[in-house]
């Protein structure tokens, strides 16, 4: 009988570890957190690895094993433990958290092209905030068009690009140590034990969210847990291998950055340009000029371009396919003749433009980049809380949720670890709302604090509006929440408002802030006016 059964293709634990590693950490994650904490980030990485990353990954393994028949997605975990509405809301928040990420990715493509073309950081001094936002928006439009025709090939290319990016990071570390062995000097002085101990203050607390943002993503490999031959033995091995590789990259990578940058006096634009500065400095040390920087720049652009195209498609399809039909408007599920969810794409572009609009008043292009990156450090950890919430739920009733792989057999101990990760992540999310890269209490600090709250309220709050739109669809005899004229009016009002605000933000008009506020208020009034009245109501 065994011979008649089809052979199952198992995945080995080293392959699973490598797959997870590519999604967890990258070279840019090192520079982002290096600017936040300096050389002290080395200690932070060690603490994170043992007290957060390993338990987080192993919890994901059990969740993937419990819900293996539902694809192992975060939404199915919450839906399976807490009902349909929380499942829908998890899907929405997971999708909403992707908006700042894809905007950040598009921004990084623009920055990368600037380095690939000019060979330096000239772009930030020659491009206004308005033009930076404009070219980011154009990047969105181009890649939505591209992914619809080359989606499968881009998935392969993004994987190749991710591996190539990892290779560049390892190369940077190895060449740095080789340079030190040949008489190179360390820019961070003094270099001693106190140098790598972070200063535990309010600023430190605001930066934990970006550390979590850098290492999350393990939930993406959850569906593969059940594809292992012996999950109980092999999955922990994969996570240990992941921890070792992550430790190597984060600890030695951060130290290598300290070789080229003075950890006590870092450039203000290190988050935006640090990766390019690092390879530029490495090239100078080996007397090859900008060669390594150009290789890295094109690798970065290649990887991010493919990643953006796949993300724009994957996140939109995930939203409309893995949420309850009871809460998700049918208009977002509508597809064109090529099977593309065009309305979902429009929503993605609209919210992305809104996020860019919030940052347009910041003093410089570098401030926009830093703020947007830090926004990821708020929203992304906030969504990660759902993972620990679902884990706590299955361990509170472990008999109801059996699994082939179990993380910590004792339920009380497992719950303790689950609550620990949930509390740490929630605290990091809350403190992450505080601005990080500007002077405390200044005008820019207060502005960033305000737009952090605005971004969170709009991105998460819109998830509560969509069920209202769905109810309007259900009340209509035509199945549409709004008439074609209403939809046209709403979309035109939104489009003109966004384009007008972006134009004003990039202009030298003396009262552009007041003009943008006035135009935004007018746009909101028009949207409400167009959509307020309901037509074609069913008779009760």
Residue-level pLDDT, tens digit, the chain, 540 residues: 444 444 456 778 887 777 677 667 778 888 999 999 999 999 999 998 888 888 888 888 888 778 876 654 778 888 888 888 888 888 888 888 888 888 888 888 889 999 998 888 888 778 888 888 888 888 877 877 776 666 556 666 666 777 787 788 888 899 999 988 888 888 888 888 888 888 888 888 889 998 888 887 766 666 667 677 877 777 778 878 888 888 888 899 999 999 999 988 888 889 899 899 999 999 998 989 899 999 999 988 888 887 787 677 666 666 666 556 678 787 777 777 766 677 777 788 788 888 888 888 888 888 888 898 899 889 889 989 999 999 999 999 888 888 888 888 899 999 999 999 999 999 999 999 988 888 888 888 888 888 888 888 888 888 888 888 888 888 888 878 888 898 899 889 988 887 787 677 666 666 667 887 888 889 889 988 998 888 877 765
Q: pTM, whole model, 2 decimals?
A: 0.83
Q: What is the residue whose two structure tokens read 């969170």?
A: 456
Question: For residues 429 and 381, is the Cβ–Cβ distance under 8 A?
Answer: yes
Sequence-distant (6+) residues with CB within 8 A of 454 are 358
Pick the closest to residue 137 from 316, 348, 335, 336 (CA basis).
Answer: 348
CATH, domain 13-439, list 1.10.357.10, 1.20.1740.10, 1.10.150.20, 1.10.600.10: 1.20.1740.10
SS3 119: coil
At 33, give phi and psi (nearest 5°): -80, -25
Question: For residues 392 and 415, is the Cβ–Cβ distance under 8 A?
Answer: yes
Residue 197: count of CB within 10 angstroms of its CB: 13
C-alpha distances in angstroms, 338 versus 321, 345, 404, 435? 17, 14, 40, 43
CA pair distance 284, 282, nearest whole angstrom: 5
pLDDT at position 540, please? 52
Sequence-distant (6+) residues with CB within 8 A of 154 are 146, 147, 306, 309, 310
pLDDT at position 538, please? 73
Question: For residues 259 and 184, is the Cβ–Cβ distance under 8 A?
Answer: yes
């Amino acid at each position: 009988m065994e011979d008649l059964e089809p052979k199952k293709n198992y995945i080995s634990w080293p392959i699973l570890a490598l797959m997870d590693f590519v999604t967890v950490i990258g070279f840019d994650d090192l520079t982002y957190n290096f600017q936040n904490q300096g050389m002290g980030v080395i200690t932070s990485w060690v603490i994170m690895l043992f007290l957060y990353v390993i338990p987080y990954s192993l919890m994901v393994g059990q969740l993937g094993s419990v819900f293996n028949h539902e694809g192992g997605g975060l939404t199915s975990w919450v839906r399976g433990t807490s009902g349909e509405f929380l499942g829908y809301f998890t899907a929405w928040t997971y999708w909403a958290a992707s908006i700042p990420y894809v905007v950040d990715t598009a921004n990084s493509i623009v920055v990368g092209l600037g380095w690939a073309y000019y060979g330096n950081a000239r772009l930030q001094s020659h491009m206004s905030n308005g033009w930076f936002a404009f070219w980011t928006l154009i990047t969105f439009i181009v890649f939505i068009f591209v992914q619809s025709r080359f989606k499968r090939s881009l998935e392969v290319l993004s994987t190749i690009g991710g591996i190539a990016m990892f290779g560049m990071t390892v190369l940077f570390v190895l060449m740095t140590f080789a340079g030190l062995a040949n008489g190179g000097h360390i820019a961070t002085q003094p270099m001693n034990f106190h140098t790598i101990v972070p200063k535990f203050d309010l600023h430190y607390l605001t930066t934990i969210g970006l550390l979590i943002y850098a290492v999350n993503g393990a939930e993406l490999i959850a569906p593969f847990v059940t594809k292992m031959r012996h999950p109980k033995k092999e999955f922990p091995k994969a996570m240990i291998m992941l921890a070792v590789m992550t430790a190597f990259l984060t600890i030695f990578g951060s130290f290598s950055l300290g070789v080229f940058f003075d950890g006590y006096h870092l450039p203000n634009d290190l988050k935006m340009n640090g990766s390019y500065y690092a390879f530029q400095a490495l090239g100078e040390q080996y007397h090859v000029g900008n060669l390594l920087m150009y290789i890295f720049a094109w690798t970065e652009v290649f990887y991010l371009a493919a990643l953006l195209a796949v993300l724009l498609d994957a996140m939109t399809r995930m939203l409309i396919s893995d949420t309850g039909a009871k809460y998700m408007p049918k208009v977002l599920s509508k597809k064109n003749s090529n099977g593309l969810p065009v309305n979902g794409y429009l929503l993605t572009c609209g919210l992305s433009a809104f996020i860019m609009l919030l940052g347009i008043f910041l003093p410089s292009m570098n401030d926009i980049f830093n703020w947007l990156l830090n926004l990821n450090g708020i929203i992304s950890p906030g969504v990660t809380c759902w993972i620990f919430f679902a884990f706590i739920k299955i361990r509170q009733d472990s008999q109801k949720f059996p699994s082939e792989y179990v993380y910590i057999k004792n339920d009380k101990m497992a719950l303790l670890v689950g609550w620990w990760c949930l509390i740490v992540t929630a605290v990091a999310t809350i403190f992450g709302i505080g601005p990080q890269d500007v002077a405390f209490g200044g005008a820019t600090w207060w502005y960033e604090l305000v737009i952090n709250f605005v971004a969170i309220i709009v991105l998460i709050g819109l998830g509560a509006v969509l069920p209202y739109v769905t109810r309007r669809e259900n009340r209509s005899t035509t199945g549409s929440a709004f008439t074609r004229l209403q939809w046209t009016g709403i979309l035109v009002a939104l489009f003109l408002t966004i384009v007008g605000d972006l134009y004003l933000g990039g202009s030298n008009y003396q009262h552009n802030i007041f003009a943008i506020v006035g135009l935004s208020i007018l746009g909101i009034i028009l949207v409400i006016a167009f959509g307020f009245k309901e037509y074609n109501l069913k008779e009760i």
